[in-house]
Amino acid sequence: MTMNTNPFRAAKAGIAALAIAGGFATTLPAAQAEGTVNIYSYRQPFLIQPLLDAFTAKTGTKTEVLFLDKGLEDRIAAEGTNSPADVVLTVDIGRLINVKEKGVSQPVDDAAINSEIPAEFRDPEGEWFGLTTRGRVIYASKDRVAQDTITYEELADPKWKGKICMRSGQHNYNLALFASMIAHHGEQKAEEWMKGLKANLARKPDGGDRNQAQSIFAGECDLGIGNTYYVGLMINNDKEPEQKDWAGAIKVLFPNSEDRGTHVNISGMAMAKHAPNRENALELMRFLGSAEAQAIYAEANYEYPVLPGAKISETVQSFGEIKPDSLSLADIAKYRKAASEMVDRVGLDDGPES
């Protein structure tokens, strides 16, 4: 057992050396460098990269993105005054309001941004700004669903028994939809509705929104709940061409377009409380609200831009006109917790009782 003859020890020494070299090379913080803006993002890097590339090309300011899917606000709060975060990007109104409530954002009052983003899509104190909207719509089977209009309320109608698919009820997108149901109908009626929805499920809530289209394509269900932009992503997915088939099997129904309108949620941004690169952050925020960036959102991500008059992608236009529910975003956020508790109470995520 001498040292030189032991391959493991040699391997280990090698690994250790590599580790020390590699470990620290990758950890040097690029945080406070000049000409950089640091982004903490709940949005996937893939979705925002085209925008950030355009921003860097235009201004020369580099971007650093840290993607988190949980605890972003807690992290900024813990980092305190030393936090490298400049800008927070997120989806879902609940999370935007959470950023404000946890005290990790700062007010921004900028004439350019305020002229770009309509007042209903931003915080009155300027602690957050909406960038895009997306409708929570119904995917319906082209073959098996004859009707071309639908309401959310109708999802509890026993005629759909065993025919509805959805993702987890505890997901942000569904919670916001349920919160809007509570806002419109009150907690009691909303709970009855949710029980009806549960009874109509074809299976346990599962997957992402795209998987609901996949299930309709495969014949597992006739209706699915999903966001508008996923349909665009599926239709134009060249890497996974089978997703085109999924999208081809469904039609997009905008619920309640004949009464209060379709539930919409937003994605948005906020400036971090202790942003070390405040000027760059402001520059980025102005850019994200500009016509140029809004067009990228619409074209590449199939979302609805908040900038009035910005062009919507042709794919999205082909779904038809959306009439957004005029309920205020703050109201939706207010009932989020109640919605989450209701999902537990009803046992929505346990699926239909069979």
Partner 1 sequence: MTASSASTPRSLPRIRGERHIAALVGSVIVVLAVLLPVATILLVAVSGTSEEWPHLLRYVLPQSLGTTLALLLFVAAGTSVIGVGCAWLVVAYDFPLRRLLAWALVLPLAVPPYLAAYAFGEFFHYVGPLQSALRALFGFTNSRDYWFPDIRSTWGAALVITSVTFPYVYLTARVVFLMQGRNIADVARTLGARPWRVFFRILLPVARPAIVAGLALVMMETLNDIGAVEYLGVRTLTLSVYSTWLNRGSLEGAAQIAAVMLVIVFLLLSAEQWARRQQRFHAARGTQMHVRPPRITLSGGRGLAAAGALSLPILLGFGIPLFVFGRYVMRRLYQFADPQVLQAFLTSVAVASVTAVLTVLLALLLINAIRLRRRPATLLLVRLASIGYALPGTILGLGLLLSLAWIDNTVDGFSRSFAGFSTGLILTGTAASIVIACTIRFLALAESAIRSGLEKLPPNLDQAARSLGKTANQSALTILLPLLKPAILTAGILVFVDTVKELSATILLRPFGFRTLATHVYENASRGAVEDGAVAALLIIATAIVPVILLSRPLMGDRNT
d(CA 283, CA 147): 47
Question: Cα 178 to the chain's mean position, in Å?
Answer: 16
Q: For residues 167 and 263, which CB has a smaller minimum distance to partner 1 in the complex?
A: 167
Task: Tell whether residue 74 is a contact of partner 1 (CB under 8 A).
Answer: yes
Q: Which of 90, 105, 214, 267 binds partner 1 (CB under 8 A)?
A: 214
Q: Does 67 bind partner 1 (CB under 8 A)?
A: yes
Write out the two tokens for 229.
Answer: 């932009």
Closest separation between CB of residue 250 and partner 1, Å? 14
Residues binding partner 1: what is the number (CB under 8 A)?
A: 78
Please report whether residue 204 would count as binding partner 1 according to CB under 8 A. Answer: yes
Residue 166 beta carbon to partner 1: minimum distance, rounded to whole angstroms = 11
- As a whole number of angstroms, the distance between CA 203 and CA 354 comes to 10
Q: What is the DSSP string of 231-282?
A: HHHHHT-SSSTHHHHHHHTEEEE-TTTTTT-B-EEEEEEEEETT-TTHHHHH
Separation between Cα atoms, residue 265 and residue 329, nearest integer Å:
8
Closer CB to partner 1, 11 or 330, in the complex:
11
Beta bridge pairs of residue 41? 67, 89
Q: Which of the ranges 81-89, 108-116, 278-286, 304-312 carries the binding residues for partner 1, by CB under 8 A?
A: 81-89
The C-alpha atoms of residue 287 and residue 52 are separated, in whole angstroms, by 10
Range in contact with partner 1 (rule: CB under 8 A) among 24-32, 54-62, 134-142, 180-188: 24-32
> Residue 15, SS3?
helix
Least separation in angstroms between CB 212 and partner 1: 11
Place of tokens 């394509």: 217
Site map 89..128 versus partner 1, x via CB under 8 A: ---------x--x---------------------------
User: Of these, 59, 114, 151, 170, which contacts partner 1 (CB under 8 A)?
Assistant: 170
Which amino acid is it at 201?
A: L
Task: Give Cα separations from 302 to 132, 176, 230 (angstroms).
Answer: 10, 20, 8
**CB-count exposure of residue 288 (10 Å: 0-12, 13-18, 19+):** buried
Smallest separation, CB 335 to partner 1 (Å): 12
Cβ distance to partner 1 smaller for residue 174 or 256: 174
The answer to whether 330 contacts partner 1 (rule: CB under 8 A) is no
Q: Cβ 113 to partner 1, closest distance in Å?
A: 25
- Does 278 interact with partner 1 (rule: CB under 8 A)? no
- Selected from 168, 195, 244, 323, the binder of partner 1 by CB under 8 A is 168
| Integer Cα distance of 272 and 90 in angstroms | 12
CB 57, min distance to partner 1, A: 20
Interaction between residue 291 and partner 1 (CB under 8 A): no
Give the whole-angstrom CA distance, residue 48 versus residue 132: 12
| Of positions 23, 35, 118, 186, contacts partner 1 by CB under 8 A | 23
End-to-end CA distance of the chain: 64
Q: By CB under 8 A, tell whether 245 contacts partner 1.
A: no
Is residue 84 involved in binding partner 1 (CB under 8 A)? yes
Which stretch of DSSP H or E encloses residue 320?
none
**Which token pair is 205?**
């809530």
